[in-house]
Structure 1
Amino acid sequence: MNGTPPALTELRARVAAGIFRRVAGPSGPATRDRIHLTPGPRWFAPDRPIRRVHGDASMFVGGLRALLLQSLHPLAMAAVAAHSGYRGDPWGRLQRTSTFLAVTTFGTSDDAQAAVDLVRSVHGRVAGTTAEGLAYRASDPWLLGWVHAAEVDSFLRAHQRFGAAPLDRAGCDAYVRDMARVARALGVPDPPLDVSALAERIDAYRPELRATEQAREAARFVLLHPPLPLVARGPYALLAANAVASLPPWASSALGLPGFPGPAGTAVRATGHALTRGIRWAMSPPPQDAAVRTPPG
C-alpha cells in the first residue's frame, strides 16, 4: 500500500485518462503497449536526452510553442492550412503527431522507420501554391528544416523552463543531436547538431518569416478557440499563455500576441510550473506499474 487516499487515486486516474485520451486517441493504450513493450533495438538508448525531454509534461507547452513558431514560415503555414485538417480534426492531428514522436523516441527501430516512411509518403503528396502564387512542397528539404528547427527549439526551451530535470549544456547539445537523427530520416540533409548551430539555423530562416493571415487565424484557433470542454479551458489557457510567453519577442510581435514582461512574465511562468507539475503527477504511473511502463532498451 502506498498510503494514497482512494479519492486522490481516483482523481489522478481520471485526470490521466482524460489527458491521455486527448493526446493518444482511442487506440492509445494499445499503441502505448506496442511502443514500449515490443522487444527489439531502438534508435535511442534509455539514457539519451531525447527520452528525458519527450517523456516530460513540458512537452505540452513546447508543442503549442512549436505550432506558433512554425506558422511564421508562409510556405509551411500554407501547407498546414490546405492539407493538415487542423480545424476540422485538430485532435486527430495532435494524436498523429504525438504518436510519431513516441514511436521515433521510444519504439523499436523498425517501427520508427515505418513511422518515418509513412510521413515521407504523406509529404510527397502535399504540394500547392500560396495565395501570393508561391509554390510549396512539404517534402522540400529547406521547408522540412524549418519545421524541424522550430520543433527542436520549442521542445528544448520548454523542457529547460518547465522540465522535471533540465539538461546541462552538454545534455542540450546531445538532445539536438538526437533530434538530428530523426530529421535526417525525414529528409533534412544537414540538421543542426548542437544548440549554437540550432540558433544559427533559426537566424538563417528569419528573413523568410512573417505572419500571414493564415498564421494569425491559426494562432487564434489554437490559443482562443480550442475544441475543449469547459472544465479543461482554464488549464489549457495557462498552457497557451506559457507557450506565448516563451516565444522570442520577434515571433510573438509578428503574430500580434501579447508580451509578458516583468512581474506578468513571472506570474505566467509560475502557473506553467504548477500546471506541468500537475500533469506530471497525473500522468506518472503508480509505483506498482513503473516496471511495466519502463521502455525496454
Structure 2
Amino acid sequence: MGSPEQAPDPGLFGPDSVTWQMHADPMMWIAGVRALYLQALHPRAVRGVLQNSDFRRDAWGRLMRTASFVGTTTYGTTEAAERAGARVRKIHSRLGATDPDTGERYGVDEPALLLWVHCAEIDSYLHVARSSGFRLTDAQADRYIAEHRTSARLVGLDPDRVPGSRRELAAYFESVRPELAAGPEARVVDDFLRRPPTPALLVPARALLWRHVAHLAYDALPPYAHTLYGRPAPAPAVVTRRLRATGTALRLVPAWLRWQLPPKHVLRAVARLGPETRPAPYKTGSRLAILDGPGEGAAS
C-alpha cells in the first residue's frame, strides 16, 4: 500500500484568512506607496534606508522586493515564507546607520524601527483597502491586523509586542507620533515619489498615471502626516471618493489578467491548492474568512 498523499501546504495564512483575500486586491500597490510616505517620517528608520542604498536609483527595486516579500509570505508555502523571513533578518543584521547630529551608530534591525515599518505597512494596506471599497467589518479588520503578527515574527519582532487590533494599532501610532518628523531624508523620499526619474519616452505615462498614484497615496495619509510634510490634502471625504473610484476602475480589470504579472504568486498558490482557493473580495463575507474573532490559526 502506498502512503497517503500529503495535503498541499496552505502557507502561513491560507485561503481561510482575511490576508489571503485582501492582498490580491490591485489597490495594494497604492497602499504600498502610502506606506513609503508614512515610513519616511520616522527619521531613524528612513535614515537606515538611505544610508544603505541609493534610494533614487533603487526605489523601484525596493518597492518590488517588498511586494515580492508580501506575495511570498501571503501565498507561498510555509517553507518559502520562512526562507524569505530568514533572508530579510540576515540582511538587516548586517546593516547600520549613523545619526548625523549625535554620531550614534545603530542597527537597522532595532525592534522599534522594525515595528514602525511593520505598523506603517499594515495600517496602509488596511486603510487603503477599506477606503477604496474592499468590504471588511471592524471584526475582520481586527482579524487582519492580528494575522500579521505572523509577518512581524518573520522580520524579527516578538509577535506578543506587535499590535493585534485597530485599537492597539491606533494606540501605537499615538505613542510614536512625537518621534516623527519630515527631515532631509523624508524630503528625498517625497521628492522621488512626486517626480521619479523616468526615461524620456515614459514621461507622458508618468504624468498621466504615476502622478495620480502618488497624489492619491499621499492624500490617503493621516492628517498629522500632511502637517509634517507641509503639503495640504483634500478633505477626507474627497479622498475616499477618489480611492473608491480608483478601486472600482482597477477591479474592472479581470483578476486573471492582473495576476499574470510576475512573479505570479496568486496563480501559483491557486494551482497548488485548487481553484476554490482563488482570492475574491466577496469571500471576506463568507464563513471561510471569518473566525470567531482575532486569534490564532485558520478556521477548522
Q: Does the aligned pair in 2 maintain the 1:235–1:275 contact within 8 Å? A: no
Residues 239, 275 of structure 1: 8 Å contact kept: no
Deviates more, 1:222-231 or 1:180-189: 222-231
> Do the aligned partners of residues 220 and 124 (structure 1) sit closer, same or farther apart at CA in structure 2, a change above 3 Å counting?
same
Q: TM-score, normalised by structure 1?
A: 0.79
Relative distance call for 1:40 and 1:101 in structure 2 (3 A) is same
Aligned ranges 1:139-218 → 2 under 5 Å: 139-163=109-133, 165-189=134-158, 190-218=161-189
Q: Could you say what the CA RMSD is over the residues aligned between the two structures, in angstroms?
A: 2.3
| 1:69–1:251 CA contact under 8 A, matched in 2 | yes
The 1:53–1:233 alpha-carbon spacing in structure 2 relative to 1, beyond 3 Å, is farther
Query: Is the CA contact (8 Å cut-off) linking 2:96 and 2:108 kept in structure 1?
Result: yes
The equivalences for 1:133-144 within 5 A come to 133-144=103-114
Deviations 1:178-200 (A, max 9, x none): 11111022112211111100111
Question: Partner residue of 1:100?
Answer: 69
- With over 3 angstroms needed to count, the CA separation of the structure-2 counterparts of 1:272 and 1:226, relative to structure 1, is farther
- Match of residue 294 from structure 1: 270
Query: Mapping of 1:226-237 within 5 angstroms?
Result: 227=198, 229=202, 230-237=204-211
What TM-score does the superposition give when structure 2 sets the normalisation length?
0.78
Higher-helix-fraction structure: 1
What is the aligned counterpart of 1:238 among 202, 212, 216? 212
Amino acid at match of 2:17: R
Structure 1 residue 282: Cα displacement:
2.8
AA at the equivalent of 2:227: S
Which runs of 5 or more structure 2 residues have no equivalent in the other structure? 1-6, 261-265, 278-300
Name the residue aligned to 2:283.
none
Q: Which position in structure 1 is the counterpart of 2:36?
A: 67
Counterpart residue type for residue 230 of structure 2: G
Count of residues in Structure 1 that have an aligned counterpart in Structure 2? 254
Contact kept in structure 1, 2:95 and 2:107, CA below 8 Å: yes
Matched residue, 1:255: 229
Answer whether contact 2:132 2:247 (CA < 8 A) is retained: yes
Comparing 112-121 with 272-281, greater Cα deviation is found at: 272-281
Counterpart in 2 of 1:279? Answer: 250
* CA–CA distance in structure 2, aligned partners of residues 42 and 72 of structure 1: 33
Distance 2:210 2:194 in 1: 9
Check whether the contact 1:57–1:277 (CA below 8 A) recurs between aligned residues: no
Q: What whole-Å deviation, never above 9, does each CA across 1:109-167 have from its counterpart, x for those lacking one?
A: 0000000000001101110202223433111111101111111111100011114x321
Structure with bigger RCO (C-alpha 8 Å, 6+ apart): 2
Alignment partners' CA distance in 2, 1:233 and 1:75: 32
Letter in 1 for 2:178: P
Shift of 1:96: 0.8
Q: 1:291 to 1:56 in 2, by over 3 A?
A: closer
In the TM superposition, residue 226 of structure 1 has moved relative to its aligned partner by 5.0
- Amino acid in structure 2 at the alignment position of 1:181: T
2:98 and 2:169 map into 1 onto residues whose CA distance is 28
Aligned counterparts of 1:121 and 1:293: Cα–Cα separation in 2: 26
Is residue 38–residue 120 contact of structure 2 (8 Å, CA) maintained in 1?
Answer: yes
Q: CA deviation at 1:106?
A: 0.7
Q: Secondary structure at the match of 2:56?
A: coil
CA distance in 2, matches of 1:116, 1:293: 18
What is the DSSP-based 3-state SS (H/G/I as helix, E as strand, rest coil) of the residue aligned with 2:106? strand
The whole-number CA distance in structure 2 between the counterparts of 1:45 and 1:143 is 28
